[in-house]
Chains A and B, each alone.
Chain A
Amino acid sequence: MTDKAVPSGPTRRALYEARIRRRSALIATLSTALVLAAIIILVPMAPGWEAVKKSFFNGPVLAKTFPGLLNAFLMDVAIFAWCAPLIAVLALVIALCRDVRAPALFPLRLFGALYTDIFRGLPVVLVIYLIGFGVPGLGLPRPWNSPYIWGSLALILIYSAYVAEVIRSGIESIHQSQRAASASLGMSDADTMRFVILPQALRNVVPSNMNLFIALQKDVALLSFIGPVEIFRQAGVYKSLMANFTPYVGAAVIFLALTIPATRYADYLMARQRRRRG
């Protein structure tokens, strides 16, 4: 009624695009089916398949160990849960250290730079060993010799360095004109950072930090090297008990159940941010 030019049915262009879409979907389905069929038919034809199936994909073993693995995974979640907030706080402090301009605070700046350089430059396992075995070696009384404390500290130190760099890149991504606008109103540097720069910067780096926290969730398993019985360690125990590798596959499945949705969510956040920036 308002616009005569709009026809009632789909346009010529819409019809064409629908045809192309149907054809693409068909080709994708066919090629995927072909690859899957090849895997399903060819892999079992390998000479060692029966043995692999028995020791890696053993149904009864999985059923027996899965509850125990799930229970041990709660330890991973707990370690993650107390590390993550401490990492966020420490990373923010380090990032702010690297941004201070006052000459009297230069040591802070130097500290920030050294900190990020050192902890980004070391393998995670190495730091966990050094701190996890080194500090309790001082002969501290219980509970201060717990590998949970020092292993967690190692994770916190390393991940703070990465998160701090991400936050700093977020701070630097805020256009200079925002600082100028704030300064022109007579605001102090500290207030400008707190009320104008940081709120925008932190929002911008949420997706990148999501990825780091997913990596942290996986690296929690490295603490098993210094003692804590979390899922990886528990799977190892089951493996020895039953002379079967299926518990490791079970552990992998449990990790994936958490990390795949989290990764997808981070990707979604990234894509949304790109769209917003247009």
Chain B
Amino acid sequence: MSFLSLRSVTKSFAENQVCKGIDLEVEKGQMVCLIGASGSGKSTLLRCINLLEPIDEGAILLEGTDIAEPGLDPRPVRERIGIVFQSYNLFPHMSAMENVMLAPRRVHRKTRAQLKAPVEALFARFGLAERMHHYPDQLSGGQQQRVAIIRALAMQPQIMLFDEITSALDPELVGEVLDVLRQLHAEGMTMILATHEMGFARELADKVCFLDAGRILEEGPPEQLFAAPQQERTRAFLSRIL
């Protein structure tokens, strides 16, 4: 039994079927990269795993339990699954520190005093100790995205989802965010990334999945998928962007 396993997940928006039966296995500590053109269903799939979007059919098993069961309270599940968005989505009226502390305070009922040390440690770990008390609009894109990652990590999730988190960043800021992912991977965090950073996927992913029109067309270890793609469409996609 995998840590996370998707069984023929389908999802439609009105008439438009975005996920057309997706199966995916993620082992503990793995980094899985989802690649594919815009609109291929990567983001929607991640939002479904986090239960931000309810799925139509299929199952999402987290340690063997179906978390997508209709009618189940999504909140305990979301505490275990962190997600980081392309547009950061920090709360603009709170400092970086308050952004990170809010959910642990409200959901885990911890006090600011209890959170101070561990949260400061998180900021220090990702090179933002100097910026803890700044507001989002006083931070660069790369810094905001790292705060968003810290905010998700502060809930101590078992798995992290990253939805094209470097796509809105200037090229020179991408590196600092990818370094954070590198660090998390080294620490054994289980992660799923929707990404256009092929070099990064190639370097670190344990598994790469190519999504096309709502299906996983091809998956495998990066050396295999990038060097010798089996499907014509995968080859075409890779030749376009590499």
Which residues of A are at the interface with B, using a C-beta cutoff of 8 A? 177-178, 180-188, 191, 195-196, 199-200, 203
What are the residues of chain B within 8 A of A199 when measuring CB–CB?
93
Given A187-B107, A200-B93, do A181 and B78 touch, yes or no (CB 8 Å)? no
* Residues of chain B contacted by A185 (CB below 8 angstroms): 78-79, 82, 102-103, 107, 151-152, 155
Q: Give min CB distance, A147 to chain B, whole Å.
A: 42
Say yes or no: A186 contacts B107, CB within 8 Å: yes
B85 cross-chain contacts in A, Cβ below 8 A: 177, 180-181
Q: Which among B90, B92, B103, B152 is the interface contact of A187 at CB below 8 angstroms?
A: B103
Q: Contact check, A186 vs B91: say whether CB atoms are below 8 A apart.
A: no
B 218-238 to A, binary, CB cutoff 8 A, 1 in contact else 0 = 000000000000000000000
Residue in chain B with minimal CB distance to A192:
B106
- Per the 8 Å Cβ criterion, residues 66-109 of B in contact with A are 74-76, 78-79, 82-83, 85, 87, 89-93, 102-103, 106-107
A-B contact pairs, 24 of them (CB 8 A): A177-B85, A177-B87, A180-B47, A180-B85, A180-B89, A181-B90, A181-B91, A182-B91, A183-B74, A184-B50, A184-B52, A184-B78, A184-B82, A184-B152, A185-B82, A185-B103, A185-B107, A185-B152, A186-B79, A195-B102, A195-B106, A196-B91, A199-B93, A200-B91
B interface bracket (residues with beta carbon within 8 Å of A) = 20 to 34
Are B52 and A180 in touch, CB under 8 angstroms?
A: yes
Minimum CB–CB distance for A180 against chain B, Å:
5
Closest to A188 in B: B75
Minimum CB–CB distance from A84 to chain B (whole Å) comes to 24
- Docked Cα-Cα span, A80 to B241, in Å, equals 65
Which residues in A have their C-beta under 8 angstroms from that of B151? Answer: 185
Q: A182-B103, A186-B75 are in contact. List 20 more A-B contacts (CB 8 A).
A: A180-B52, A181-B89, A181-B90, A185-B79, A185-B82, A185-B103, A185-B152, A186-B79, A186-B103, A186-B107, A186-B155, A187-B102, A187-B106, A187-B107, A188-B107, A191-B106, A195-B102, A196-B102, A200-B93, A203-B93
A227 to chain B, nearest CB (A): 45
Interface SS of chain A: helix
> What is the minimal beta-carbon distance from A260 to any residue of chain B, in angstroms?
32
- How close is B234's CB to chain A, nearest CB, in angstroms? 30
Residue from the list B78, B90, B152 in contact with A183, Cβ < 8 A: B78
CA distance A199 to B99 in the complex (A): 13
B79 touches A177 (CB 8 A): no
A195 surroundings in chain B (CB, below 8 A): 91, 102, 106
Contact (Cβ within 8 A) A200 B78: no
Q: In angstroms, how far is the closest chain A Cβ from the Cβ of B208?
A: 24
With A and B bound together, what is the CA distance between A180 and B152 in angstroms?
13
| Residue of A177, A185, A188, A199 with highest tally of chain B CB at under 10 A | A185
Complex Cα spacing A188 to B107, Å: 8
Please tell me if the beta carbons of A177 and B89 are within 8 angstroms of each other in the complex. Answer: yes
Residue among B47, B106, B155 having the largest count of chain A Cβ atoms under 10 Å: B106
Contacts of B82 in A (CB 8 A): 184-185
In the assembled complex, the Cα of A118 lies from the Cα of B152 at a distance in Å of 45
**Which residue of A is nearest B91, CB measured?**
A196
| Nearest CB in chain A: distance from B55 CB, A | 16
Q: Known A184-B83, A187-B107, A195-B102; judge A178-B89 contact (CB<8 A).
A: yes
Point out the residues of chain B lying under 8 angstroms from A203, CB to CB. 93
Q: Mark B46-70, 1 if CB is under 8 A from A, else 0.
A: 0100101000000000000000000
In the assembly, what is the distance between CA of A177 and CA of B52, in Å? 11
Question: Is the CB–CB distance between B91 and A178 below 8 Å?
Answer: yes
How distant is the Cα of A177 from the Cα of B89 in the complex, in angstroms?
6
Contact, CB under 8 Å: A186 / B76: yes
A159 to chain B, nearest CB (A): 26
Closest-by-CB residue of A relative to B80 is A186
What is the CA–CA distance of A191 and B155 in the complex, to the nearest angstrom? 16
Residue of A with least CB distance to B148: A181
Taken together as a complex, chains A and B put the C-alpha atoms of A195 and B103 apart, in Å, by 10
Question: What are the residues of chain B within 8 A of A181 when measuring CB–CB?
Answer: 85, 89-91
**Residues from chain A with Cβ under 8 Å of B47 in the complex:** 180
Contact digits for B30-52, partner A, Cβ 8 Å, 1 yes 0 no: 00000000000000000100101
Across-interface contacts of A187 in B (CB, < 8 A): 75, 102-103, 106-107
Q: Which residues of B contact A180 (CB under 8 A)?
A: 47, 52, 85, 89
Closest to A184 in B: B83
CA A180 – CA B83 in complex, angstroms?
10
The 8 Å CB contact of A200, one of B79, B92, B102, B103, is: B92
The docked-state distance in angstroms from the alpha carbon of A274 to that of B236 is 46
